[in-house]
Structure 1
Amino acid sequence: MKKIISLILTMGLLFTMGIPSYAAEYKGFTPPGLAKKGGLPPGIAKKFMDLDGFDWAREAIEKLAHKGIISGVAEGQFAPSRHVTKIEALAMIIRAMGWDDAADLSLDLIKKGKKEDKIKDKLQDWTKGYMEVAREKGLIDEIDLAQQNFATPATRQEVAKYIIRALGLEEEAQQRMNEKLRFKDTSAVQIGAVGYVYLIDAKDIMKGYPDGTFRPNQPVRRAEMASLVAILDEQLDDGEDEAQGVQTIKGKLIWVHDEKIFIERNKDIEGYKLGNDIKVYIHGKMKTIKDLKIGEIIEIKIEDKIVQEIWWKTDVVVIEESFQGIITDINIDDQKIVVKNENKEKLFTIEKGTEIKMDGKTKSFHDLAVGMKIELKLENGKVTKVTAATTAETFKGIIIEKITGKENKLTLQAGNQMKTFAVAKNAEIKEKDGDILSFDELKVGKEVQVKVENYMIVKIYTQD
């Protein structure tokens, strides 16, 4: 609740202010969020010389720079009026929400080849961990990845979407896509952003301008994002201070790296700093960090934010587990599948001989398809059984967006909901009178009936 209140107060202030546009472009830019918390020692934090006219953001900027959460673009320069890019905005929101440990872990696993790099060379390496977390937490989706260049400036409607999704309000936003906005420039709001703009305005998080406009396509500047993150960071620090003292936490060991230990609990990955004289007990006997095994359930004792003791009792180790979700990607050559649920996305190897059941019948790996609902049984991290089910539905809707590319996609308005699906390469597309159409001949605004199998459109029939 504190986070939401802070967010409302901050955004209400930030996005009603006009920002001067005088900052020059600087070389040597270090993206916000790349530096670690902890920052520079007292008295060493650099002062920025270009904050005249930004007194409302000065304290926030200097505080975050001192803590190492953001940095300048050059010696003594912050460039407060420079536009913040999409990935920078995402990184700052992720750090404000306390998800940066998960971003660090994702980046480390990608570099070590233990996690698939889905971003490839589209962005700098430092962004990959944040992009993974943004995907896992639902701040961005596959359509965003396909359509957007995250190195370009973030607009007001895009930041609105990131924030609403970060607050867990995606479902409500989808239900508000047909709402009438109160702004004079409503026509400038993207169809797929109406619900986010409506909610962020209705909840007094981001307001319009005195002239009655929202300016959805106006880029957000670094000073605005810095002020937002400062408030959120302060609230998070308050929560951490309340939690200081002695704690015992139980969770699954995910990774030990760079003097930090990462564990998964409550479906989130958390990182903790290891003490210099840490004690490790395995089945009651003194051991070392190297004796621990990834994937095991451990308990850690924390004193003033530092891990002092670790316990692993083999009799409480979870040997068998399961993972349920939707298949989002398949590598036939290596027999690997990517499965995503509402909390995370994981890569699994299906070894030859693994039992595979589909709709109650024995099948092979090649029968699996993207979009299928699936449950995997695992023993010590190895898939031992796969249970899959095909899905199919037919409904009518109006085409509100069409994406042509390596994978064609349609976004349909069905009642008060918007649904986006990939279109199968061999999909049957016909006019109402039976004439065959190509995907390119489909028009936005056209009413269609579609058949969807495993979350992919296989048949399209026009209705008018």
Structure 2
Amino acid sequence: MKKMKKTGIVTASALLAFSLAGPVAATEHGRKSVKVEFKDTQNMEWAAENIGRMKVKGIFQGDEEGLFQPNKPVTRIQSIITAVRLLDLEEEAKSRTNVELPFKDASSVNERVRGYISVALEQKLIDSTSENFLPNKPAERLWISSLLVRTLGLQDEAAQSKNEPLDFKDAKQIPKNFIGDVFIANEYGIFAGNTAGLFQPNKPITRAQMAAVLDRTYGQLLEENGASTVNGVVTDVSVNNDTKTGSLTVKTFNGELLTYQIPVNLLVQYHNLFMSADQILVGDNIELSINNNIILEIALFEKASDIELNTGIQKLKLELQFKNATEVKLKYKSNRGKTKVEMKVESETGKIKYKDEEAIKRLEEYLAKWNISPEMTKEEIKDGILATFNSLDLEEIKMEVKFSNGTKLAMEDGYGSDDDMENDDDNKKRYAKKQH
């Protein structure tokens, strides 16, 4: 059972101190925008978007000289401060004075930041039973994974995953009491291994890497608090800066026309460029975060992935367990035109892992056969998947699908009954098929 954080969420709802200037490089149309970067992050393309969004939200800032110091390790206290900001609890932290901390090294903690630790303890982001806090110690990847799992309120889910196998070559270096945290952090896309398949649990995390995992946590935090993601093409937009009202209509990659309210002071992101809502144009590819028919976040991107364009599916997770101990796991996610696909087949004879183009090709073949859509019944989806495999030998099936129109369907242990496919009242609220 997920424990939801009952806090606010920082959104890019104000232009802060930025002045709008310069064209959006990815479009043929000149638009006023601002590039959000630091003097020393201009060549960090892999993290530019993450750093920009965290700066705009005031979660991660640079120094007085305009430097971000992307390769510098993040300390534990700096990590706590960013997590508290992510939960929109900074004012609460600042308001606390004369804070007593339950650590032996409490005297080494600056009075200015004690309120942040107090809030973190109250929110159960850190363990109050630890002997020392070590505020200035570089935060390792293992420690940060635990912190962010708790920021999402997923500690109960992590506890239930303490015996799950970790797919990292250095998994034996991860202490048993952290296995659940690492598993959930990886499962929710917060943390991943490096290109060599290593998690590197004891390696300090850099500021650029921290910006990336904070940004991923922010996206997941929106979802944990009831938001859904909608992807498509803008067909109509109306923004009135005088009355502070606006609306946006998008044709999702499932083909639906959906209209939402847009706060006129909401910043629109394109990579590390930010612009006002009145700069949105008909024909833009757009990603929206929606809650109660109101847009919380907007991002533009050049082109949707071929898979999402052809199927209207933005995310798919499938696990099949057969009676002969063979297990098939498939993960796919389309994020602003970028596709990530992984497929694993484990059996008594060994493990086969498909990634990148080979995994994409296999997924495209499967989706062409299944032809999954939001309008299909649970039985139709289930039967289509089972027909691809030897269903007579199937022992367990788990599946989660997210469509471009915000709909989510989930099947667990789902082999025979009509109740195996879940689309309960909570999901209907969070992932309504039509959110007019």
**What TM-score results when the alignment is normalised by the length of structure 1?**
0.38
**What TM-score results when the alignment is normalised by the length of structure 2?**
0.40
The structure with the largest strand share of the pair is 1
